[in-house]
Structure 1
Amino acid sequence: MSDARDLLPVGTDGLTTEEAARRLASYGPNRPPPAPRRTLAASIGTQLRDPMILLLLGAGTLTALLHDLPDTVIIAAVVVFNTVTGVVQEVRADRAVAALRDLAPAHTHAWRDGAVVEVAAADVVPGDRLSLAAGDVVPADGEVLEARQLQLDESMMTGEAVPVDRGPGEDLDGGTLVTRGRADVLVTRTGAASGLGRLAALIAASPSPPTPLQRRLSQLSRILVGVVGALTAVVVVIGLAQGRGIAEMAVVGVSLAVAAVPESLPAVVAVALALGAHRMARRNAVVRRLPAVETLGSVTVIASDKTGTLTEGRMVAERLWTPAGEYVVSGHGYDASRGGITALGADGAGPADDPGLPRLLRDGVLCNDALLRGDGPGTTVIGDPLEGALLVVAGKGGLPADGTRDAWPRVSEVPFDHETRRMTTVHRPRDDAGARLTVCKGAPEAVLGLLGGSASAARAATAAERLAAEGYRVLAVADTRDPDGAEVWSLAGLIGIDDPPREHIPAVVEATRRAGIRLLLVTGDHPATANAIARRVGLVGADGEPPPGTVLARVRPEQKVAVVEDLQGDGEVVAMLGDGVNDAPALKRADIGVAAGLGGTQVAREAADLVLLDDNLSTVVAAVEEGRRIFANIRAFLLYAVSGGAAEVGVMVAGPLLGIVQPLLPAQILWINLLTHGLTGVAFGAEPADPSEMSRPPRSASASIFTRTFVRLLALAATLLVVTSLFVGVHASTEPHVQRTAIFLTLGLGQLAVAWAIRARPERRTGVRGLELALVGAAGLLVLGTLVPLLQELLGTATPSPAILAAAVAGAAVPGLVLRWAVGRERRRSR
């Protein structure tokens, strides 16, 4: 697209209505580009290609062939749930782009046919001459033609916390807010070519990566398909070699395949994630994508924006300096009723002992164009946020703005100027008693220059440099009441203004450090400001400075995406925290995006996976713990389910070698599978967290579920189940019918004992948990399968004698007891 300055010359009269219409037809409406439309069929097809879903479809086909209606219905429900969830998440991505439209104002003012008229923001075209004033949102990218005291809040686009001044010849980004002054602006880029349009393209081009859990489950699916297929083939071949019929062995093979595949795994995962999301909702965090809860448990790096995320997103006066003392201002936000002013250091003069402090506060109110609206925590600033900070600190010092201004009406002013870098106002006493008061505020070097070479000016210059080094935006204030108008200036003091960190952030930093998670500060703000905030929240090394690479400043939106991608390329699992439009592409590209819900933009919320309703980042630490709990429970279920399936296959392979022709019938295998993988498996998702989880380093995103410890415990459990089941079966009787019943009971109860052994055991536990109730219920149903005549006929079991029942219970207890000892040893070793 060509630049607007290459088009027809633009004068003070702006475009004609006809020319504006022609350009609108050529360039299109001034809106971010719409998200690419996906057909419903394409979205569903994408979800059904997932390996675990394919595995489920295969298992569902097998259960349907076996007329196993309960398992078929459960599998179908899980497939539908997962598919619908995935399609919904694709719709979310489209909403993130659509939310950018909300940033553009509905209307703006442009020169058309020689007059300033109101036009729809969507109808703004390159070459338009806009007339903007304080409070207006810039509707498109442009260049300043004329300006008077123009100041912009660009934090939503750049992350820069402090409002910036703009003058003729400088560029403006669409979506920024005019906080002060007026300007005529030449529109240079609209729609897809504008800053908002480029952000929309970044969001659309940033795919949401698969979560670590999804990658692990895909790997697991491939392994299970291969192993189960091979073992099932072995069993079928052995049966055929023994002279059994093809049809009979086909049923046995299908039954084993169903038993060995943990088809309830997606249900367990879905329940665990849903419960985690429910817990997070109770802690003011809305989970927009269920897998995101588990992803937090794998996070190794948290890359956080500064403005509005680590900080309050408000300019607050925190330090005051007068020739007689230095003071710290307490309280947060714009609520002047909370907080106060105290002397810095034990030897400093108290506020009551320093007459210069009320003078400094008074001057800050008078040389000021901002207004406060509202009361208490709901107070907002109209105008320059820096000037709003001066009004708030005066209120904390007992000088309300309205009363102070009433006592000193303004009679003239010299507005802030880019050249002089200061503002001057003249006031008279309300009672006309005494000389007029002239106040000047601005950059320290500009104001202190009015004082000549006085000692107080030299001291103030040193103090200003120190405050600036600490990350403060420093304003100097001077006044004069010379009745002769000679303007003999006297220094009132300095005011250090900052966007302070939120109260809870240092605790969050410490919690992430204990959990082995790196916290990075990624911001568009100035390096000195970013480093100062990093020091204040505890992101420091042994030398008291932020470690190299911990603070990344002056980062543009597209660079934030590159930062996330570089970290992911190094194998890191990245959580990105942000609240502005400039954060949205990185939020979407990160493994998990976390957005502020109160102070953040709709664009950031739509692009995020987790939204903090109270903007409290300590919730992120709780979410990390929740994610680790979920993964631990899923891994425990896999250990339980896969070891049980492997044991069933092992019994069918080893049984004939011991003279047991058919250790288990297909119906018996499916009954065990239903009881062990049903409510018992789902109950694993609700198990509590191990208290030591948050003192361990995060697990590697590339690490397989099948760790050495996992494989050792799985092999131990499966071996014990096979040995004990066949031992009880061989010694129970020589009658095949009775042998199968003994093996059926021992193997089923043994799997439930394994679940008891590996369940989560927090240090403090009261009451009976859902898993324990599920185990008792499953054990009862398993025994009923050998006692109820209808079930005996269905399953092919016989009523066990008391001796066989006791032997089965004793044999089943062995795997549970041994595995509990082994799991306890591994837990002690890991701690």
Structure 2
Amino acid sequence: MLRPTGAQVTDVRQSPAPGLTAAQVRERVAAHQTNDVPRRSSRSAADIVRANVLTRFNALIGTLFVLVMIFGEWQDGLFGGIILANSAIGVIQELRAKRTLDRLAVVGETPVKVRRDGELAELEQREVVLGDLIVLGTGDRIVVDGTVAASQGLEVDESLLTGEADPVHKAPGDKVMSGSFVVAGGGTFTAEKVGREAYAARLVEEASQFSLSHSELMAGINRFLKYVTWLIIPTAVLLFASQLGSADTTGEAIVGAVAGVVTMIPEGLVLMTSIAFAVGVVRLGRRRCLVQELPAIEGLARVDVLCVDKTGTLTEPGMDLDEIIVLDDDLPARPALAATADADPDPNATMLAVREGLDEPAPGWEVTETVPFSSARKWSGVAFDGHGTWLFGAADVLLEPGAPGRRRAEELGSTGLRVLVLARVPDGALASPDRKTGPVRPAALVVLRQRIRAEAPKTLEYFAEQGVAVKVISGDNPASVGAIARSLNLPKAERPVDARTLPGDLAAMADVLEDNSVFGRVGPQQKRAMVKALQSRGHTVAMTGDGVNDVLALKDADLGVSMGSGSGATRAVAQIVLLDNSFATLPYVVGEGRRVLGNIERVANLFLTKTVYSIILAVLVGLVHIRFPFLPRHLTLISSLTIGIPAFFLALAPNLERARSGFVPRVLRFAVPAGLACGIATFAGYYLATEYTRSPFAENSSTATLALFLLTLWVLALIARPWNWWRLGLVAAMGAAFLIVLAVPWLREFFALRPDNVRNDVTALAIAAGAGVLLTVALRWDKWLTRLRDPSGQQYGKSNT
């Protein structure tokens, strides 16, 4: 238990210190001594343009485009439009996401209370200037560095900076650092380091910018790109060498080699990933959900355990005073309760409910000492001159078993009511290192009724259907929490666990957490330990919260979700902030994450299949020393109809599949056999047409184009599974577009297609059909073997075969 610290009480919000004058503020603004730091939620427009334009693939495609313009026809340079399209779409989407994030960040930012010209004012964090007198209350995040000017039992948690778990009492003259937060009491401090000079701002600038890095998904895609880069170099050299020896002219050789190399590049994969993330941010923004880090969207999809605090999540933040049960008629319970409520300069939701519900006016007793409420203590204390010392807090913490009112409190708590006790203790107890220096004399039970959120039952039902386990982790009485959870039909809620009985060993704690879903009397450090225990069992844990006691757990969870009405500290450390304070938003949040991840996997399958068949074709052509079967315009047509256009729709489509581990091997298990089938079958049809029919190149290349298009269209159909009307319609539309190109003379001429050799075309159709059947059987066989090794189905998605 924390050591109580007595303090002479004055309301720091009414402190005589006037703070800066308007003239002093203007001077500091002119001198750029403001707290203007980069927003955590977005990078600059220049960085966005640079990241989308100056890419390795744009440079490579641009070089190949110049070669085709010099040695070939302009129609074969259509692929150069990829540079403009990729860059423009990427920049536009990310700028759109940036505007959404910046707008929501302003709305969701906790204002800072300062004293200026003797008046209390609320400012945006960036409006704070050097020398401002900043007023602190429980739950406030400290946004700049400074020195304490006044303290009213001020206790600060610096664990996010130092790793030390115990809150630190701050007296006048002590230093406070940005990045810490107030867990109890209040006070004022003078800002001494603002903007980029503040400690936390330096950390944020280095590590917390808007980024697509540090993501399992992006790490997997970068692995693909690394493999492809190493394969492209030797394959391109082989292809160029073979084309110089087999083509009639140098120009034909260069155009043929460029066609092979361009197709190997998965130029749209990173683009589609960026678009999917950015659109996810915008969609969530429309639901008043602020995503402070883009990789958080990926985390949404992987969540399989959701830890929620009862207050503010299952119940509304506010409460109603239900009744006051006097336990000792000899004590002035009602006047003491009114005085205690009136003495709190920074009341929490509980004390506000008492203030509003009491019909007893404050007696005006003079306060001599106080101990502010903290979630670790679970009580607050006030000493009055001539009227005794009083504690107000949890009944099962302050009252020993068998004490008057303890049994009654437990009975009421088991019905879902929140029960607190007002008790008198000997004078001087608050100034003692140990508050139990004398007996606790209970005066009254204070019963509060909590408001259950109307949307909570449906939200819990959604998570149960989606396989997400919900754990209610609360600081309240276990029986009360259990009663509310049972009323919401939460699974395993019939056995609420008192966290004070939990084992300290993480493995043993994890066993208890797996078997139960409701936990009461959980301290801040225990919340953190419970998150780690769940993670030790391989769970991806999301934590929701709104109070300072949730901050450490939010920071350690795989995904921290804060309510918009929560404390500044919780909103600062959370990756996602629900600005509408609605628990019902969480299903949309999780669903958006799943949509993004599931669709990116589909898109990756498309692009990697193209890369594999391009490399196979280039190697076979290089070894056999024949002319490359395609002009660049042929592959532009095929890639547009079977990859580029479908990928855009697939990346943004609805998708509720739960994310699974093994992204890289799963994509490779599809893309490698699919690419092999496409590459080998296409080469076989082209080789037969070239060697045995001796047809002109235009006819042979048309045969190869027909074979490759049919196979890649079938691959698209496999990737689009499970089929529905719009996915089948998408595949059919791409097939119809290709038929239109073949049917319209000027389009056929533009793309250099001559499907005049019926024998070659029938051969291509037969080879494509046979390869498609073999590919489907091979993928089915692989899926069957995978399920034998992994019956849970975590490693293979039903959508890809």
| TM-score tier after normalising by the smaller chain length | 0.5 to 0.7
2:631 to 651, 665, 668: 665
Q: 1:386 matched to which residue of 2?
A: 350
Q: 2:244 matched to which residue of 1?
A: 240
Are the counterparts in 2 of residues 471 and 532 from structure 1 also a CA contact under 8 Å? yes
Residue 790 (structure 1) aligned with residue 746 (structure 2): yes
Instruction: Output the amino acid matched with 2:87.
Output: V
Are the counterparts in 1 of residues 613 and 676 from structure 2 also a CA contact under 8 Å? yes
Work out the CA distance in 2 between the residues paired with 1:588 and 1:689.
Answer: 28
Q: 2:220 matched to which residue of 1?
A: 216
Question: 1:635 deviation in Å?
Answer: 1.9
1:748 to 699, 705, 709: 709
Are the counterparts in 1 of residues 90 and 271 from structure 2 also a CA contact under 8 Å? no
Work out the CA distance in 1 between the residues paired with 2:135 and 2:270.
Answer: 58
Q: 2:797 matched to which residue of 1?
A: none
- Per-residue CA distance 1:797-819 (angstroms, 9 max, x = gap): 21335665555445434444444
Work out the CA distance in 2 between the residues paired with 1:191 and 1:305.
Answer: 36
Q: Please give the secondary structure, in 2, of the residue aligned with 1:616.
A: coil
Instruction: Output the amino acid matched with 2:731.
Output: L
- Per-residue CA distance 1:129-155 (angstroms, 9 max, x = gap): x99999x9999763657xxxx788999
Residue 725 (structure 1) aligned with residue 682 (structure 2): yes
1:105 to 83, 105, 113: 113
Are the counterparts in 1 of residues 34 and 129 from structure 2 also a CA contact under 8 Å? no
Are the counterparts in 2 of residues 605 and 611 from structure 1 also a CA contact under 8 Å? yes
Instruction: Output the amino acid matched with 2:651.
Output: G
Q: 2:563 matched to which residue of 1?
A: 596
Q: 1:142 matched to which residue of 2?
A: 148
Q: 1:192 matched to which residue of 2?
A: 193
- Per-residue CA distance 1:163-195 (angstroms, 9 max, x = gap): x9x999898989999999xx9x7x66534389x
Residue 772 (structure 1) aligned with residue 728 (structure 2): yes
Distance 1:594 1:100, change over 3 A: closer
Residue 681 (structure 1) aligned with residue 647 (structure 2): yes
Distance 1:826 1:415, change over 3 A: farther
Flag structure 2 segments of 5+ consecutive residues without an equivalent.
1-14, 69-73, 161-166, 372-379, 425-440, 500-507, 514-518, 788-792, 795-801
Distance 1:566 1:97, change over 3 A: farther
Q: 2:421 matched to which residue of 1?
A: 475
Residue 626 (structure 1) aligned with residue 587 (structure 2): no
Q: 2:57 matched to which residue of 1?
A: 55
Instruction: Output the amino acid matched with 1:734.
Output: R
Work out the CA distance in 1 between the residues paired with 2:711 and 2:696.
Answer: 20
Work out the CA distance in 1 between the residues paired with 2:170 and 2:667.
Answer: 65
Distance 1:613 1:90, change over 3 A: closer
Q: TM-score, normalised by structure 1?
A: 0.62
Question: 1:125 deviation in Å?
Answer: 5.4
Question: 1:795 deviation in Å?
Answer: 3.3
Q: 2:516 matched to which residue of 1?
A: none
Q: Please give the secondary structure, in 1, of the residue aligned with 2:721.
A: coil
- Per-residue CA distance 1:436-455 (angstroms, 9 max, x = gap): xx999854899xx9x9x9xx
Instruction: Output the amino acid matched with 1:735.
Output: S
Instruction: Output the amino acid matched with 2:589.
Output: A
5 Å-filtered alignment, 1:582-593, equals none
Are the counterparts in 2 of residues 583 and 604 from structure 1 also a CA contact under 8 Å? yes
Distance 1:293 1:513, change over 3 A: same
Are the counterparts in 2 of residues 512 and 621 from structure 1 also a CA contact under 8 Å? yes
Q: 2:672 matched to which residue of 1?
A: 715
Q: 2:445 matched to which residue of 1?
A: 494
Work out the CA distance in 1 between the residues paired with 2:350 and 2:175.
Answer: 20
Distance 1:425 1:750, change over 3 A: same
Instruction: Output the amino acid matched with 1:257.
Output: V
Distance 1:806 1:274, change over 3 A: farther
1:781 to 733, 737, 744: 737
5 Å-filtered alignment, 1:19-38, equals 33-35=35-37
Distance 1:389 1:76, change over 3 A: same
5 Å-filtered alignment, 1:13-412, equals 33-35=35-37, 44=46, 48=50, 53-63=55-65, 65-66=67-68, 67=74, 70-83=78-91, 103-107=111-115, 142=148, 144=150, 189-192=190-193, 200=201, 203-204=204-205, 206-208=207-209, 210=213, 211-242=215-246, 245-277=249-281, 280=284, 285-287=289-291, 292-299=296-303, 308=312, 312-314=316-318, 367-368=337-338, 385-390=349-354, 404=359
Distance 1:64 1:608, change over 3 A: farther
Work out the CA distance in 1 between the residues paired with 2:135 and 2:660.
Answer: 55
Instruction: Output the amino acid matched with 1:73.
Output: G
Q: Please give the secondary structure, in 2, of the residue aligned with 1:654.
A: helix
Are the counterparts in 2 of residues 260 and 648 from structure 1 also a CA contact under 8 Å? yes
Instruction: Output the amino acid matched with 1:252.
Output: G
Q: Please give the secondary structure, in 2, of the residue aligned with 1:706.
A: helix
Q: Please give the secondary structure, in 1, of the residue aligned with 2:509.
A: coil
Work out the CA distance in 1 between the residues paired with 2:159 and 2:421.
Answer: 25
Q: 1:330 matched to which residue of 2?
A: none
Distance 1:252 1:650, change over 3 A: same
Work out the CA distance in 1 between the residues paired with 2:580 and 2:671.
Answer: 43
Question: 1:202 deviation in Å?
Answer: 5.1
Identity score, percent = 20
Are the counterparts in 2 of residues 311 and 502 from structure 1 also a CA contact under 8 Å? yes
Distance 1:625 1:96, change over 3 A: closer
Work out the CA distance in 1 between the residues paired with 2:550 and 2:684.
Answer: 63
- Per-residue CA distance 1:657-716 (angstroms, 9 max, x = gap): 7796443233323332233232122122134426xx34xxx544xx5x430x43333232
Q: 1:460 matched to which residue of 2?
A: 405
Work out the CA distance in 1 between the residues paired with 2:108 and 2:205.
Answer: 12
Work out the CA distance in 2 between the residues paired with 1:654 and 1:555.
Answer: 62
Work out the CA distance in 2 between the residues paired with 1:473 and 1:521.
Answer: 19
Are the counterparts in 2 of residues 259 and 669 from structure 1 also a CA contact under 8 Å? yes
Distance 1:243 1:312, change over 3 A: same
Q: For structure 1, which segment, 64-73 or 508-517, has the greater mean C-alpha deviation from structure 2 after superposition?
A: 508-517
Question: How big is the alpha-carbon RMSD for the aligned residues of Structure 1 and Structure 2?
Answer: 6.6
Alignment length, in residue pairs?
692
Work out the CA distance in 2 between the residues paired with 1:309 and 1:155.
Answer: 24
Are the counterparts in 2 of residues 366 and 425 from structure 1 also a CA contact under 8 Å? no
Question: 1:459 deviation in Å?
Answer: 3.6
Are the counterparts in 2 of residues 414 and 425 from structure 1 also a CA contact under 8 Å? yes
Work out the CA distance in 2 between the residues paired with 1:369 and 1:604.
Answer: 30
Work out the CA distance in 2 between the residues paired with 1:282 and 1:37.
Answer: 20
Work out the CA distance in 2 between the residues paired with 1:213 and 1:289.
Answer: 14
1:706 to 629, 645, 664: 664
Question: 1:638 deviation in Å?
Answer: 2.2
Q: TM-score, normalised by structure 2?
A: 0.64
Question: Larger radius of gyration, structure 1 or 2?
Answer: 1
Q: Please give the secondary structure, in 1, of the residue aligned with 2:113.
A: coil
Distance 1:659 1:650, change over 3 A: same
Are the counterparts in 2 of residues 179 and 383 from structure 1 also a CA contact under 8 Å? no
Residue 757 (structure 1) aligned with residue 718 (structure 2): yes
Q: For structure 1, which segment, 171-180 or 306-315, has the greater mean C-alpha deviation from structure 2 after superposition?
A: 171-180
- Per-residue CA distance 1:728-764 (angstroms, 9 max, x = gap): 44556431433322221011121011100121317xx
Distance 1:494 1:288, change over 3 A: closer
